Amino acid sequence: MLQAIIKKGKVMAEEVPSPILSAGEVLIAVSYSCISAGTELKSVGNSGENLLMRAIKQPENLKKVIDLAKSQGIARAFSKVQQKVKYGTPTGYSNSGIVIAVGEGVQNIQVGDKVAAAGAGIANHAEYAVVPENLVMKVPEGLDLKLASTVTLGGIALQGVRRADLRLGEYCVVIGAGILGLLTVQFLKNSGVRTVVSDINDDRLQIAKELGADVVLNPAKENLVKRVTDYTGGYGTDAVIFTAATASSEPLSEAFQATKKKGRVILVGVSGMEIKRADIYKKELDFKISTSYGPGRYDREYEDKGHDYPYAYVRWTENRNMTEYLKMVHEGKVNLEPLINKTYPIEQAEEAYASLQSPEKPIIVLLSYDNDVNAKPSSKVVVNNSYTKKGKLNVALVGAGSFATAMHLPNMEKMKDKYSLYAVVNRTGHKGKTVATHFDAKYTTSEIEDVLQDPEVDVVFITTQHKDHASLTLRSLQAGKHVFVEKPLATTPEDLNKIVDFYNDDSIQNKPLLLTGFNRRFSKYAQEIKKHTTTRENPLFVSYRINAGFRPATDALHEHGGRVVGEVCHFIDLITFLTESKIKSVSVEKLSPKNEQIRSDDNVSILLKYEDGSVGSLQYFAVGNKGYQKENLEVHYDAKTIIMDDFTKLTGYGVKVKELASKTPEKGQYEELLHMFDAIQNNKFAIDFDDMVQTTRATFLIQDN
């Protein structure tokens, strides 16, 4: 499909795989999408700047890069930044079209429905979009999809009006006569509010007047505060809705000055935030922020999981706001005709964006899509027609997330005689294409069946969300592909048992190999410890302390088995590797927190008893200080002690160990791939299958305790 991509100061339409539908989502064949002149033009401008200027303007992103460099090294951090700069980012957050498929659990949307959709990074400028149900609104019968594509902008403007909480006959000043301001004017007039519009563009002011504004003024030509004060009988306006976008704090100061005592100023747009106390203190003003389209925005429970807020308690959710906007447009209460300047086909995306910077400064520009709703969206895009196999094994990566692209793929590039990245599978097409192009793969696809049916694929690397690991692993094994799956192997006993059944099925010949990403056992630190413990006379006493770091109770990391199933498996595997024994029993104690934000299941003390008499004591906690080291391993045996500090240092007491030291933690990810390759060449598991199963089952016991 074609999708608009912001890249190096320009916007261009690129061919990418269409997105894949999941539970709770709706697949839309897009008819129109609306370009947000302010937000998107800013993104286009930023993409054309050098990295230094971006860092100065966006220090929060610079901090993310610095943190990544600290944890994974400068080279990997720089590579990630370069990918974004070189290959660009998708854009768009408002579109309309026809539903061609619905995911499991979708209740209120059906195939064939005409809908509008919202969401940055979701309702993109693309021929197809996959959108969670609560961000999809049905279009009233008879409403042109062209008009419906403005739904997101309508929701933003309407939420600003609701935050102002105005009554019939009250006064409101709208600062900024862009699309949000001109929609706001119409909402206010429908509510019986006397409206003043301020803007430095006289043409926009004329449109505002035609749409119902009672008073329009150009603050460059007359005093806003005086005009508003005079118009309101000397009192000042009941509210100001600020829809402009400016780095200056002066317009906001004028907004405060024009407001009556105990009035309200609502920030919908963007403003400098150097607020003068004198402007607001004596009047006891309320300064409010309007968040996007309304209640539910940025709430994963609402947007991603589809949990609606009760109608009686939250009357105007973001979905209900945008649905109401569509009704108002359909009923003729909101007039968009003078606001929509031109429609361009998606193939002319660059020209469409360029028009926004023309002297005419159009208010709304749309993109159109010539979609056949009966055609199957294309899932596969070839990015390298001249692909040649460099290593002995062709790899298909499933899930092009940050860990895989910053860790596994760079490691593979260092062993080109062994691995060749052949295909990339990802739910979102642009990310998959970016990774495939950057690492010189042959093709990218959003459908895993494309690689499972490809005889050229030797190994499938699964690095998706935890909940999908087991099902994707089983499908890949059944297709005859060797599998590397990041931990955990499975998130439920039922899913794990299906994989066990596959390997226990004697009717299946030449079963492929499986490796779960328990990389720590392959690190040079673990290997050095094991070299010494192998000759021990008595059982091991292992103490492993993990300062995991706090994650909020609502964090997605706590889902699908949580941190015990998803992370603690790492540490159990390492202890098992050192003991070379089977787990005999597991006992658990969990923290009893008084704060609801602290979870008990990521603050656990675990005691593992092994059949050979060894004991593993594992403390995994999220209440520690982030400045303290993350991992500390102590191995005691035969009057000897070996201590490993965060995979950066190894020290022996009573035993002479090899002096190892690293500037950043070296946890065995590179060595893991070497062992995987050797295992496939020798048709032998790199980690004993029973060990992988045992470790995973132990995490289920701990989680359920």
Looking at the fold, whether 107 and 214 belong to one and the same domain comes out as no
Q: Is residue 373 part of a domain?
A: no
Segments forming the whole domain that contains residue 179? 155-289
The mean per-residue pLDDT over the stretch 21-28 comes to 97
Q: Is residue 46 part of a domain?
A: yes
pLDDT score of 55: 53
Looking at the fold, whether 52 and 33 belong to one and the same domain comes out as yes
- In sequence order, which residues have a C-beta less than 8 Å from that of residue 575 and are 6 or more positions away? 542, 544, 608, 616, 618
Q: Which of 253, 187, 184, 257 is nearest to 227 (CA)?
A: 257
> Per-residue pLDDT for 45 more than 60?
no
Contact 483, 513 (CB under 8 A): yes
More confident residue, 63 or 382: 382
User: How many Å apart are CA 688 and CA 445, to the nearest integer?
Assistant: 32
> Per-residue pLDDT for 138 more than 80?
yes
Looking at the fold, whether 334 and 445 belong to one and the same domain comes out as no
The mean per-residue pLDDT over the stretch 685-701 comes to 98
Q: Is residue 100 part of a domain?
A: yes
Looking at the fold, whether 307 and 269 belong to one and the same domain comes out as no
Q: Is residue 454 part of a domain?
A: yes
Q: What is the 3-state secondary structure (H, E, C) of 616-649?
A: EEEEEECCCCCCCCCEEEEEEECCEEEEEECCCE
Per-residue model confidence as pLDDT tens digits over 504-519: 999 999 999 999 999 9
The mean per-residue pLDDT over the stretch 416-439 comes to 96
pLDDT score of 705: 85
Q: Is residue 396 part of a domain?
A: yes
User: How many Å apart are CA 442 and CA 379, to the nearest integer?
Assistant: 14
Q: Which two tokens stand for residue 75?
A: 């080279």
pLDDT score of 53: 54
Looking at the fold, whether 668 and 688 belong to one and the same domain comes out as yes
The mean per-residue pLDDT over the stretch 259-282 comes to 96
User: How many Å apart are CA 179 and CA 186, to the nearest integer?
Assistant: 11
| Mean pLDDT of the residues in the chain | 94
> Per-residue pLDDT for 84 more than 80?
no
Looking at the fold, whether 471 and 405 belong to one and the same domain comes out as yes
DSSP 8-state class, residue 47: H
pLDDT score of 390: 83
> Per-residue pLDDT for 39 more than 80?
no
Peptide linkage before 90 cis (omega within 30 of 0)? no
Looking at the fold, whether 354 and 426 belong to one and the same domain comes out as no
Lowest mean pLDDT among 207-221, 279-293, 358-372, 536-550: 358-372
Confidence of residue 46 (pLDDT cuts 50, 70, 90): low
- Helix ranges (DSSP H) in 505-623: 524-533, 562-563, 569-579
Q: Which of 654, 451, 412, 445 is nearest to 533 (CA)?
A: 654
Looking at the fold, whether 574 and 644 belong to one and the same domain comes out as yes
pLDDT score of 82: 60
The last residue of a domain, from among 250, 266, 289? 289
Beta pairing class for 94-102 and 25-35: antiparallel
pLDDT score of 83: 61
> Per-residue pLDDT for 41 more than 80?
no
Q: Which of 474, 549, 529 is nearest to 650 (CA)?
A: 529
What count of other Cβ atoms lies within 10 Å of the Cβ of residue 549? Answer: 15
pLDDT score of 166: 98
DSSP 8-state class, residue 376: P
Per-residue model confidence as pLDDT tens digits over 524-569: 999 999 999 999 999 999 999 999 999 998 888 999 889 999 999 9
Could you tell me the CATH number of the domain that includes residue 675?
Answer: 3.30.360.10
**Alpha-carbon separation of residue 610 from 541, 571, 579, 582 (angstroms):** 10, 15, 8, 6
- Helix ranges (DSSP H) in 73-150: 74-87, 145-148
The last residue of a domain, from among 339, 368, 397? 368
Q: Is residue 488 part of a domain?
A: yes
pLDDT score of 359: 85
Q: Give the CA angle between residues 246, 248, 253 to the nearest 5°.
A: 110
More confident residue, 149 or 705: 149
> Per-residue pLDDT for 58 more than 80?
no
Half-sphere exposure in the Cβ direction for 638 (13 Å, CA): 11
The mean per-residue pLDDT over the stretch 326-349 comes to 97
Over pLDDT 70: what percentage of the chain?
93
Kindly tell me the sign of the dihedral angle through the C-alpha atoms of 448, 454, 460, 461. Answer: negative
User: How many Å apart are CA 212 and CA 585, to the nearest integer?
Assistant: 76
Looking at the fold, whether 214 and 335 belong to one and the same domain comes out as no
Q: Is residue 97 part of a domain?
A: yes
The mean per-residue pLDDT over the stretch 252-265 comes to 98
Lowest mean pLDDT among 50-59, 249-258, 351-360: 50-59
- Domain total for the chain? 4
> Per-residue pLDDT for 352 more than 90?
yes
The mean per-residue pLDDT over the stretch 33-56 comes to 64
pLDDT score of 391: 86
Per-residue model confidence as pLDDT tens digits over 648-676: 999 999 999 998 999 999 999 999 999 99
More confident residue, 545 or 84: 545
Looking at the fold, whether 102 and 203 belong to one and the same domain comes out as no
Confidence of residue 75 (pLDDT cuts 50, 70, 90): low
Confidence of residue 389 (pLDDT cuts 50, 70, 90): confident
Over pLDDT 90: what percentage of the chain?
87
Q: Give the CA angle between residues 424, 428, 433 to the nearest 5°.
A: 45
The last residue of a domain, from among 228, 259, 289? 289
User: How many Å apart are CA 490 and CA 476, to the nearest integer?
Assistant: 14
Phi, psi of 443 (to 5 degrees): -150, 165
DSSP 8-state class, residue 310: P
- In sequence order, which residues have a C-beta less than 8 Å from that of residue 12 and are 6 or more positions away? 4, 5, 349, 350
Looking at the fold, whether 510 and 540 belong to one and the same domain comes out as no
Looking at the fold, whether 334 and 400 belong to one and the same domain comes out as no
Per-residue model confidence as pLDDT tens digits over 598-641: 999 999 999 999 999 999 999 999 999 999 999 999 999 999 99
Q: Is residue 127 part of a domain?
A: yes
- In sequence order, which residues have a C-beta less than 8 Å from that of residue 529 and are 6 or more positions away? 578, 633, 635, 642, 644, 650, 657
Could you tell me the CATH number of the domain that includes residue 265?
Answer: 3.40.50.720
Could you tell me the CATH number of the domain that includes residue 74?
Answer: 3.90.180.10
pLDDT score of 21: 95
Contact 236, 243 (CB under 8 A): no
pLDDT score of 339: 96
> Per-residue pLDDT for 292 more than 80?
yes
